[in-house]
Amino acid sequence: MTDIRSPRIRRRTLLSSGVSAGLASLFLRPLEAAAANGPPTRVLIIHAPCGTVPSQFFPAAGGTATNFQLGPIAMPLAPLQSDMVLFSNVTNPRDEGWQGDRHGQGLIAFVTGSRGISDGTPIDGDDQFHNITGSTQSIEQYLLTNSPLLKGSPLGYAALGAYRDSVQNGRLYPANGAANFRPLTYLGANKPVFPEVRPAVAVQNLFGSAMPGGAAAIARQQTLNKSILDLVAKDLANLQKQVPSSQRVKLDTHLSAIQTLETEIASLNTAPTCTAPTVAPQITMVPPGSSSGLRIDAVEHETVSKEQLQTIKVAFQCDLIRAATFTFGHGNCDVQFEYILPSKVTTMTGMHDISHQTGPTAEGWQAAAHNWYCQKVADFLLDLKNTPDGPGTSMLDNTLVVFFTEVTIGAVHSSKQSPVMFFGGKSIGLKVGQNLDMKDRYMNDVWASTIAAFGIPLPSSNMYGGNNVWNGVTGPRLGQGAVSGIFGP
């Protein structure tokens, strides 16, 4: 019997046995990675839109750093408390007086560590100027570019979302296709990567390069309601014979995960799909008898969110990517939670507009929506925690997951006491099980610590990002440098 740590499994051996190169890459990559270096390290950033109600999100006074009770909004994440670092009193690295859309500046500053810049459109004096973009790489791209722990996967990263307007030239703000609050991923200055919001296309893009016939073949199989695995049935039979018995369980897990993903995504194809994401879907996609004005965004929100997160999980399992971003919806999203949570939200007003209302009723609506997002993240993270990823470890252990929202209180676009949580990350030494008081330090100090944990030397200043640049003028950096207590032995 071959030990799982043995480097004797080689792609060339399986190719000589008749297994296709694409299939070998897809299924043997994680096995070979485990044989050489153990399970791969990964990073995933998850964004929920429009802020929260801090008094219902953070623990009440009286707890300790390691003995605390999450607020009602975050309570769905309680089963993951031993896998969590909750950052209390951390500040989004922005100045609340910066020109530009506040949700956009909040999102861009959080993921890049620096102020958003104009995308080239002349600055028109509009205090809510929408044509802003990242001035540098987003944090997961910085890690992917510089950390040896994240190198080695063929595709590198994925940027997915669950809200149709998050694409370029979106439905709500079609003019100019501004990045603003839509992307989480930036490859460099004014190089946004808009999220793919269609689950079937996301699967084609991620898995097409590893399948015979590519993305077009996968699309044909989806149209025929047949499994992607049917494309490689003969190769699978040969592969299962070649893989040592000690590794067949893991291979079967990968196959099962893809089959499950396909089954769930197939449910999206029962209604017409929008071939051009800049065009709103036809009203015939809304269930008969629905409230007047109901949009498809709400109808599909739960299903699409689940499928996109599952796609990321399987792509991680197959080691096609080691970094990913996922946004439930952008900072001005109008998802109508009355459809999703009819017993808790009693208005057809969209999420962004609710976040700008005040008073107990509106706060209750927003709390219910953010609680729903916490539950979806908890479901996903528990799945990662229950998925083996090598001897004695889970996928969550080997994945640093960041969960945040771009403003604290939507009505005032506040940046202090930003709701931020880290999960998993045990393979890079994340000190889980704590509520860490950051004492109003900027998120850039957390990022500096994260960079060091990923094996990247920090500059002599010990700082990351923080550049306050606008219209050619550079201001002071935001942050003091890496902080202790987040990562360690």
What's the rounded mean pLDDT across residues 358-385? 97
What gap in Å lies between CA 466 and CA 14, rounded to an integer?
A: 49
pTM for this prediction: 0.83
CATH topology of domain 39-198+274-475: Alkaline Phosphatase, subunit A (3.40.720)
What's the rounded mean pLDDT across residues 277-305? 70
Q: What is the DSSP code string of 59-113?
A: PPTT--SSS----TTTGGGGGGGGGEEEEES-B-SS-TT-SS-HHHHHHHHHHHS
More confident residue, 108 or 243: 108
- Predicted pLDDT at 338: 95
Structure-block tokens of residue 400:
């640093």
- Predicted pLDDT at 24: 47
| 145 touches 456 (CB < 8 A) | no
Question: How many percent of the chain have pLDDT more than 90?
Answer: 52
| 204 touches 218 (CB < 8 A) | yes
Window from 284-293, 314-323, 348-357, 401-410 with minimum mean pLDDT: 284-293
pLDDT, one tens digit per residue, over 397-455 is 999 999 999 999 999 999 999 999 999 999 999 999 999 999 999 999 999 999 999 99
- Predicted pLDDT at 268: 38
Strand-strand pairing, 468-470 and 473-475: antiparallel
pLDDT, one tens digit per residue, over 93-151 is 988 888 888 999 999 999 999 999 888 877 767 777 888 899 999 999 999 999 999 99
Query: Cα dist. 248→19, 87, 299, 385, 387 in Å?
Result: 16, 40, 39, 21, 15
| 45 touches 193 (CB < 8 A) | no
What integer best gives the mean pLDDT of the chain?
A: 81
Q: Which amino acid is at 485?
A: G
| 321 touches 155 (CB < 8 A) | yes
